[in-house]
């Protein structure tokens, strides 16, 4: 187990060094985390809205049941059936308590929806800030890499041209002159032999 822990620690350290040396990648990773949080928050909002709709439906259904039992209470009282009226009143009271519970739950869900929407806006804003910083850091990294590449190219180009000149490498102009000089030497030798 110690080997895996050491390897894990080593890899984490290397990753941290890499991200410190490449801040634009760290910002991209942060932006990705924020994107995931944004999606999770959006899913939570949709789920809470679904719960709110379900609670609204339950409240409406309970209200209809209360109305039905209330009219039954009135009928039972009008018919002088106190036994039924009493039982109907108990049922109505139970339904009222149940309706109040649904109402309280719905208010709690509405508050959570509101807080989730605020959180969603904060995450979106933070993600835009991070995206802007990541773009800026990537542009800075590109500029730095371009400058390094140009310096390297200029240095390499300078050194290469010196190397070619000094070593007499395969320079096309050099070859053209050698060929011309060789041909000229052959022609001169032919003329001398022909005399």
Tell whether 193 is covered by a domain: no
Tell whether 181 is covered by a domain: no
Structure-model confidence comparison of residues 153 and 126, the more confident one: 126
Tell whether 162 is covered by a domain: no
Q: Are 113 and 49 in contact (CB under 8 A)?
A: yes
**pLDDT value of residue 150:** 67
Tell whether 119 is covered by a domain: yes
Q: pLDDT grade, residue 72 (50/70/90)? A: very high
Tell whether 161 is covered by a domain: no
Tell whether 12 is covered by a domain: yes
Query: Which range, of 26-35, 59-68, 96-105, 159-168, averages the lowest pLDDT?
Result: 159-168
C-beta atoms surrounding 162 within 10 Å:
10
- Residue pLDDT, tens place only, 110-120: 999 999 999 99
**pLDDT value of residue 79:** 94
Residue 129: what are its φ and ψ, rounded to 5°?
-60, -45
- Sign, CA dihedral 180-181-184-186, equals negative
Tell whether 77 is covered by a domain: yes
Write out the residue range of the structural domain in which residue 88 sits.
Answer: 2-142
Residue 181: what are its φ and ψ, rounded to 5°?
-65, -40
Tell whether 164 is covered by a domain: no
Q: pLDDT grade, residue 5 (50/70/90)? A: confident
Q: What is the DSSP letter of 170?
A: S
Indicate which CATH number applies to the domain containing 107.
Answer: 1.10.287
Number of domains in the chain: 1
Is this prediction's pTM over 0.75? no
């Amino acid at each position: 187990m110690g080997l895996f822990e050491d390897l894990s620690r080593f890899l984490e350290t290397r990753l941290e060094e890499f991200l410190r040396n490449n801040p634009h990648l760290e910002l991209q990773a942060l932006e990705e985390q924020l994107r995931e949080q944004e999606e999770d928050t959006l899913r939570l909002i949709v789920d809470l809205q679904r719960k709110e709709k379900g609670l609204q439906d339950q409240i409406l259904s309970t209200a209809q049941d209360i109305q039905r039992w209330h009219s039954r209470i009135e009928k039972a009282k009008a018919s002088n059936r106190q036994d039924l009226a009493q039982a109907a009143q108990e049922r109505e009271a139970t339904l009222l308590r149940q309706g109040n519970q649904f109402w309280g739950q719905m208010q709690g869900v509405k508050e959570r929806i509101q807080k989730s929407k605020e959180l969603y806006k904060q995450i979106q804003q933070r993600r835009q800030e991070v995206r802007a910083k990541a773009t800026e850091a990537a542009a800075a990294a590109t500029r730095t890499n371009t400058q390094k590449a140009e310096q390297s190219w200029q240095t390499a180009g300078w050194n290469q041209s010196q190397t070619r000149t000094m070593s007499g490498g395969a320079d096309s102009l050099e070859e053209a002159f050698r060929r011309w000089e060789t041909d000229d030497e052959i022609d001169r030798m032919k003329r001398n032999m022909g005399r």
